[in-house]
């Protein structure tokens, strides 16, 4: 069956009461915006599942810490605490998303070397993540932190600035909610990590129980051993 853009052309090709046409017309009338949105959300979650399951080999936190291998790895861990001394956001130029610097008393974006006309706060949260094999420092950047907090850094900073007389430098309680919960992380190990034993950048993260369970079974992770680490935190 071929559908043409022109109504008249369509009419020429088939009579309007054949089942395919009825079905097609029904689908047109029921496809509303919320359906389209939920379809695109479903699509996104399928894509991120594929990404997690296909491209990340499991590595325990202890192994990540001692890794001499560069690459992307999936790991399961509990955010034990937030390193508050690093703050929770940085100011960026919206276009380049880089952290602005002060050069000769002027704000400069290191990406384009321009003075940003508008500064946007973005998340950069340093966390200590633990599993049954050890602990490591991870850094959650903007989009990944947003997935767990469900509010933008801009929203939180605005609220803090309005609520207190402060400059937004204290810690929003929304961020504390990610502590003592378990996540599936995708971690990028780069040469710098191996040389410096530094924090690992989070390349993806989820708290989706189905994704976590799918990852556990696809990687053959011993769930009993893994969950034995801490009695007060579970995946459910």
Neighbouring residues of 104: CB distance < 8 A, sequence distance ≥ 6: none
Q: Are 14 and 21 in contact (CB under 8 A)?
A: yes
CA of 219: how far to CAs of 70, 115, 203, 208, in Å?
Answer: 19, 47, 19, 16
Instruction: Catalog residues that contact Zn ion under the rule CB under 5 A.
Output: 93, 96, 109, 111-112
Strand partners, 103: 106
Beta carbon nearer to Zn ion, 4 or 112: 112
Q: How far is the CB of 85 from Zn ion (least distance, A)?
A: 27
Q: Is residue 140 within 8 Å of 201, Cβ to Cβ?
A: no
Taking the least distance from each CB to Zn ion, the nearer of 93 and 183 is: 93
CA dihedral 66→72→73→75, nearest 10 degrees, is 100
CB proximity list for 48: less than 8 A, separation 6 or greater: 204, 206, 211
Minimum CB distance to Zn ion, residue 118 (Å): 11
Nearer to Zn ion, 99 or 126 (CB): 99
Shortest reach from residue 156's CB to Zn ion, in Å: 23
Is the distance from CB of 64 to CB of 138 less than 8 angstroms? Answer: no
Which of 120, 128 has the CB closer to Zn ion?
120
- Of 185, 180, 187, the residue nearest 206 (C-alpha): 185
* Min dist. Cβ of residue 228 to Zn ion (A): 47
Q: How far is the CB of 113 from Zn ion (least distance, A)?
A: 7
* Nearer to Zn ion (CB atom), residue 19 or residue 117: 117
| Minimum CB distance to Zn ion smaller for 115 or for 169 | 115
- Smallest distance from the beta carbon of 115 to Zn ion, in angstroms? 9
The Cα 185–Cα 203 span in angstroms is: 7
């Amino acid at each position: 069956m071929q559908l043409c853009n022109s109504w008249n052309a369509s009419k020429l090709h088939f009579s309007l009461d054949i089942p395919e046409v009825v079905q097609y017309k029904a689908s047109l009338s029921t496809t509303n915006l919320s359906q389209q949105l939920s379809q695109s959300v479903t699509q996104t979650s399928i894509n991120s599942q594929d990404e997690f399951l296909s491209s990340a080999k499991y590595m325990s936190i202890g192994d990540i810490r001692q890794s001499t291998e560069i690459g992307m790895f999936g790991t399961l861990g509990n955010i034990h605490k937030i390193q508050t001394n690093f703050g929770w956001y940085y100011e960026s130029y919206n276009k380049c998303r880089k952290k602005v610097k002060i050069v000769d008393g002027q704000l400069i974006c290191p990406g384009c070397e321009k003075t940003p006309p508008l500064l946007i706060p973005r998340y950069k949260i340093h966390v200590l993540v633990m599993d049954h094999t050890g602990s490591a420092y991870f850094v959650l950047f903007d989009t990944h932190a947003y997935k767990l907090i469900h509010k933008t850094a801009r929203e939180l900073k605005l609220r803090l600035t309005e609520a207190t007389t402060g400059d937004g430098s204290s810690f929003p309680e929304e961020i504390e909610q990610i502590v003592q919960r378990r996540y599936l992380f995708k971690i990028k190990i780069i040469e710098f990590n191996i040389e410096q034993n530094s924090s690992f950048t989070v390349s993806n993260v989820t708290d989706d129980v189905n994704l976590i369970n799918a990852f556990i079974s696809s990687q053959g992770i011993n769930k009993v051993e893994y969950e034995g680490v801490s009695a007060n935190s579970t995946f459910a």
